[in-house]
Structure 1
Amino acid sequence: MTRLLELRRVNAGYGEFKVLHDVSLYVDKGEIVAVVGPNGAGKTTLLRTIMGYTTLYSGSVVFKSVDISGKRVHERVALGLTMVPEGRGIFPNLTVEENLLAGAYLERDKSKVRERLELVYSIFPRLKERRGQLAGSLSGGEAQMLALGRGLMTSPMLLLVDEMSLGLAPKVVLALFDLVVKLNKEYGLTMLVVEQHVKNALEISSRGYVLENGRVVLEGDGRSLLSNEMLKKAYLIY
């Protein structure tokens, strides 16, 4: 397997407030890797650290064998890292298509932008149907599709997805997890997924990490974590 991302003993946070403590993890090309844990565990901060939004006190973030710890956010995006934030982060007063085009802001080749747009529409036909509709009028599930589609417009090598199921109905959540599997299996997209639905996330993942109080307390393949008695009791997994 090709090592795509590696965090090496990362300590990070915001200003003087440290959130992550000595965190190490990795993602190989072609994997879906889940990060689960209770609220306030540092899961979102982990993704934001990979993207360069936090203060890195020590340790390193390595992407494609290059230490990117000192690179700015747009430089990381240009290298192939993209984050779909918690809460979607779409622009409600722009149309669906305008939101998607905003995701390709670093691409100057208009033909490539058009190719990416058509690919996104082929993956999300509902977005194509609503291309001229204001994003703020979409349902929760459609808005999450738009957020994922906008992430794909950067043509990422690694997509970071933060709590995509937040606030959505169970039926919609299951459909989104199926979509993640499709993106991985059919389009070869590597993903690091932070998720509150522990069982669903681990079932579709090659491997997983459990984060508590900013520290990795468990790691392993998805099946072994699902059978871990401590995890089953903590998250009521049956």
Structure 2
Amino acid sequence: MRSLAERSSNQVSLSLFAQTLPNAFPAVEVAPQTWHSYARAFVQWFEYAGIARFKGQSILVLPEGSAGMGRLFGARLPIRTKGVFPQEPPGPCIALLVKLVNGPLKISALDRYERDSLRQLLALGAVEPDSAEAFRLARPDLISDGKVLQAVLMELLRRVPGGSDALDLLIQNPAASPVDVGRIFHSAHSADWKPATTQSVGKHFRAWARHAGISTRVRRQPDADMMSATTRLDTLFDI
């Protein structure tokens, strides 16, 4: 972890840390996504020891002698951050951000859907723990007058694994399909996803990108009249 941190301004993505673990444990053979779970478990130990802290989907290496946090025994994490952003549409997440402008919120005060949104905001790095049971805005400048500031959201989106490449694709090609966008995240996380998951992640990211000020458009379909005029039904198999 420290070696990675020295090469990346003291902040390491969870995805990159997970990718280094197979070389550290060559005798262990597990599915690629399992290394992501192991990486998260390691960082939770590092947090307890005062070595590192989670910051969204990144890991911030702390100065030597930093205080640890959390408890090992009898402790239950109240909420877990999903490994991939985005898995939720932006609307409910932004609504929760607006609520957080007024101050930290306790997890117990959130309904099931708001907790899903909270996980995504943690992965995005837009919120952070305020205590063991509450969360606050990590970027107070993200919301102004009840609206998302596009420049700040753009900055956060570029920091998530795959986010910068996906944004660049949409800037160059606003009609890039959800599958095209989803494949970037599929690769960034070395994920074992079904096609529907890849498409869903891409669809959600396109929506987040629009909130960051990027225009997207639906890929144009062939004109039905043109298709009928140029297509001949020569055999029974063409009907």
Q: TM-score, normalised by structure 1?
A: 0.29
Name the structure, 1 or 2, with higher relative contact order (CA <8 Å, separation 6+): 1
Which structure has the bigger radius of gyration? 2
* Structure richer in strand, relative to its length: 1
